[in-house]
Structure 1
């Protein structure tokens, strides 16, 4: 039985490899075509487009993992079915459940790889791709040129116009309010250097103080300000939610909640990490009935049906996620619902087959 398990695992790994070799270059090519449209703008060149596409590959692999699991398992078990090897195994006493367990075992290895990539590899590569592209195109890496980064705590609102690099920002606005929500001071600084921890050195500073007698304006060359943001918070603010690792998302969601800010987009991105794992497990389960439930169907027919299922799942997941943000639904429910629904459907389908 151990030999059969090893053989099944090897075939499934090969199937996953084939699916990866097809899907990852395909979507990478589509990313490259999208980047080539910007070649010639600023200092963005063809080599930059190729580098950007290459740096995004770990993230694309994570995004495609559920579909790689589906198609890879269908390819592996479908080849065994076409060659009558599954029939021989079942005649030798190997149950469909035992064969399915081999798929799930390999799936656990795939999920472990995804977890490592999502925490330690994909975020760093994706953030490097975004920042280098923004520099070449002479665009802000935050919300767009002239829009800046907005954040707040209980009594302050801060706008950072542009992050020049990790230790320096430009076009800074700070609004300080009293307990009743009335504006007390407005401070504008041309530049800010992050000295140590949450201590900032503001330069080219103009401060306006609002009193009962009017507005007092004072200009200084520089002043120090103790910010409510630490360097990690500033770094996170300049990154899109999907480019953050699970740990970065967890701490950033906690920071946003502690300062009374909108957390839906970041909370949804965090919970979708778990939702992706559930969807991958669901795809592994759904791939099994494609083989055992359609014995007379050829491998090509199975792959077509699996592809259609994959597209339907992707659209369903996107619709649920966007509807959840639009309607302000619970992020955990929004992110986990598609995977849970698919696992339930797979369980019902497997009971009918077995």
Structure 2
């Protein structure tokens, strides 16, 4: 089999890319409309307006495109090959000696171009745009002086006190409520002249129904010529900072690049924190291209089946069902990895390997 692309490879690739692009735009448009309608419930909170909702939706489009691409690739590939089958072009290609394997490779190479674009998007544009979207919504809804710095965590201001937390997460309590836990917290309190009066460090700052509590606190007070330090194991913190606003401003794992995820994982492991959510997202990024390729190759045999029996609608439905089953299987393995605490690399490698084996079996079965 020649590796250099020939005219039929370019024709198949162009057809598949066009159908994938159309399906992708349709799915992305529907998802954006649903997101905008869901965002309407926030209009009127603080200074949040319909314009903010539109801007928030626009900022989230790169992330949505990244998430929807695997499904669009499967449906578009099946539709593209189905279009060629309906006009007997696949039959003609088979008659002149083009194998099913060669056709599948042409599809895979064409989709790999879009996959590469999505990988770059997932590492650059998507995290930046999603962080901008979250910051826009939080600042408008809660009207707080808050920002999420790229490398220095969460910053918030309350009067003359500035808060900085490196990481944080929302946790479920035993009674079903939620609490916000911030890690590696620093409070900078300024005096009337704008000089640093007090620097407070806390290992964690916890907010629940009882308010804010600082744990393992070290406080330095700066006088004219002397600095005094006090330490306490735990103390309440009288603050009116909105926990919901802070939680909305925290960087989610999906909003980080692979390098930032790796840094966060190492940081959390060094400090004895749970890093499973970050590991899940990190390895999902690495296996993203393999998942797209395995998913499409496993669904391609359904398009060949339309040449001999059954309508294309039936084959398309079966291919979509197959793709949905793959995504659910992948989700199941990742959740099991988090629950049973085994390596996420195994959880993300098993589904594509299984799909590739099924694809090989289907190719042999339809010869």
* TM-score bin (small chain): 0.7 to 0.9
Normalized against structure 1, the TM-score is what?
A: 0.74
2:42 is paired with a residue whose SS is coil
2:192 corresponds in structure 1 to none
2:202 is paired with a residue whose SS is strand
1:174 corresponds in structure 2 to 202
Q: CA shift at 1:347, angstroms?
A: 2.4
Partners of 1:241 and 1:161 lie apart in 2 by 24
Aligned with 1:239 (options 231, 251, 274)? 251
Normalized against structure 2, the TM-score is what?
A: 0.72
Q: CA shift at 1:161, angstroms?
A: 8.2
Q: Is the 8 A contact 1:55 1:125 kept in 2?
A: yes
Q: CA shift at 1:286, angstroms?
A: 1.8
Q: Deviations over 1:304-353 (max 9, x none)?
A: 22222233223222232223222222222223332232222222222322
Q: Deviations over 1:148-182 (max 9, x none)?
A: 521xxxxxxx23689xxxxxxx9964259xxxxxx
Q: Deviations over 1:254-280 (max 9, x none)?
A: 232333332211111100112322220
Q: Is the 8 A contact 2:199 2:219 kept in 1?
A: yes
Aligned with 1:113 (options 92, 113, 117)? 117
2:24 corresponds in structure 1 to 20
Aligned with 1:208 (options 230, 239, 247)? 230
Partners of 2:330 and 2:54 lie apart in 1 by 29
2:63 is the counterpart of 1:59:
yes
Q: Is the 8 A contact 2:82 2:306 kept in 1?
A: no
In the alignment, structure 2 segments of 5+ residues that lack a partner are 149-167, 171-177, 189-197, 205-214, 222-226, 236-248
2:96 is the counterpart of 1:96:
no
Aligned length in residues:
295
2:320 corresponds in structure 1 to 307
1:37 is paired with a residue whose SS is helix
Partners of 1:111 and 1:250 lie apart in 2 by 22
Q: Which moves more between the two structures, 23-32 or 122-131?
A: 23-32
Partners of 1:263 and 1:35 lie apart in 2 by 30
In the alignment, structure 1 segments of 5+ residues that lack a partner are 151-157, 163-169, 177-183, 191-204, 218-236
2:153 corresponds in structure 1 to none
Q: CA shift at 1:127, angstroms?
A: 0.9
Partners of 1:161 and 1:331 lie apart in 2 by 36
2:217 is paired with a residue whose SS is strand
2:38 is the counterpart of 1:34:
yes
Partners of 1:23 and 1:171 lie apart in 2 by 50
Kindly tell me: are residues 45 and 353 of structure 1, through their superposed partners in 2, closer, same or farther at Cα, counting changes over 3 Å? same
2:312 is the counterpart of 1:281:
no
1:330 corresponds in structure 2 to 343
1:352 corresponds in structure 2 to 365
1:339 corresponds in structure 2 to 352
Aligned with 1:149 (options 158, 165, 182)? 182
Q: Deviations over 1:47-71 (max 9, x none)?
A: 1111111111111111112111110
Q: Deviations over 1:169-216 (max 9, x none)?
A: x9964259xxxxxxx9723589xxxxxxxxxxxxxx995336xxxx9x
